[in-house]
Amino acid sequence: MTGPLSGLRVVEFSAIGPVPFCGMLLADMGADVLRLDRVNDPGLGIGKDQRFDVLGRGKRSVAVDLKRPQHVKLALDLAARADILIEGYRPGVMERLGLGPEVCLARNPRLVFGRMSGWGQDGPLAMSAGHDINYVGLTGALHAMGRPHDPPPPPLAIVGDFAGGAMMLIFGLLCALLEAQRSGKGQIVDAAIFDGVNLLMAPFHALLRAGRWLDRRGANALDGGAPWYDSYETADGKYLSVGAIEDKFYEEFLHVLQLDPASLPQRSDREQWPALRTAFAAAIKRRKRDEWASLFAESDACVAPVLSMGEVASHPHSVARRSFVEANGFAQPAPTPRLSRTPASIGRKGPTPGEYGEAALLDWGVTHNEIAAFRDSGGLCT
């Protein structure tokens, strides 16, 4: 692997959501990520074509049964050789397996032990099950999304799992890793989706406390309440996104729509927002989405087409930025951010349980005899 994290060793205990996403980011940047899968793990239903296991790209796999002492020993040996360990079990599971942070840090004092959970390692909800929508719901973020008289819509899991979870985890891991290089001491990173989404909501809490945010859906400048920050249907049933917040952008927006500002209510008057919205909706409905996109392309009105997922890769900006790259047989989102001297890259396709495992174990210093004994005990590494 190449990239800024080349030479970094990461043990990833197989999980769903934020843990594999975090592992993918590390692998994209060059880390040697060894995923410990479960023997006979049914997977996530992506089918037999591992090309589409995007979250597994660049990783290698060893399949273990952590009910077997020999396999726990192997996992502990790998933790002793790793720089980072990431896991997403409920609190206490790693300890019951004999792989808790105290045990691992005793073997490897420089280890950064990353723990990813929904609610955190303590607190009254720590042991409760949950999914993205539940964590986002308890932070107030879900309450702030959607139309005023409709139930909050389920957001994509990028809000909780990936933004509040994986991105906070990887930030904590790299902070702890940098500190370990100075002190020689590792530590535990307790990343909770609940905490992460609360942090993402920090500026909105500040606006609320300052009296500049109404604590209800669809009533504010950035939640669809303001008619100049919303999506509008076009003549072909598609949509246009409008973010004309600043005065100069708003003026340009009206100019392209061919709406006379003198004929419209003052936008500072909240009581007139419905009338403004009606005027914008009627104007935008006159043309197709791509016609509007062409008209707004050279303006600073902060207007862009709402693309479907299938359209994104072929958009001229995506093409120019190489935001999607062909890898492992299909176009997929490219690693980001861009580094000038040590760029990231997409590695091999996501492994099946145990795939590329023998080479990984040898690279990590496990002997041929130990690998043979591991296979004899029911482990998978090919």
Phi, psi dihedrals of residue 299, rounded to the nearest 5°: -105, 170
- Cβ neighbour number for residue 3 with a 10 Å cutoff: 21
Strands (E), 59-158: 60-64, 84-87, 112-117
**Bridging pattern class, strands 60-64 and 32-38:** parallel
- Beta bridge pairs of residue 259: none
Query: Which pair of structure tokens corresponds to residue 370?
Result: 């130990």
d(CA 34, CA 353): 11
Torsion of CA 305, 306, 309, 310, to 10 degrees: -40
H-state helical runs in 86-200? 93-96, 101-107, 132-138, 167-183, 193-200
Element (H, E) at 361: helix 357-363
d(CA 129, CA 329): 36
> Which candidate in 41, 77, 131, 143 is catalytic?
131
CA dihedral sign, ordered 243, 246, 251, 252: negative
Query: Which pair of structure tokens corresponds to residue 290?
Result: 């791509």
282: Cβ–Cβ under 8 A, 6 or more apart, which residues? none
d(CA 338, CA 342): 9
> Which candidate in 32, 132, 161, 195 is catalytic?
161
Is 131 catalytic? The answer is yes
Task: Give, to the nearest 10 degrees, the angle between helix 202-209 and helix 193-200.
Answer: 50
Residue 305's nearest CA partner among 323, 321, 318 is 318
Is 205 catalytic? The answer is no
**Bridging pattern class, strands 239-243 and 229-233:** antiparallel
CB–CB of 58/34 below 8 Å?
Answer: no
The residues carrying an active-site annotation are 131, 161
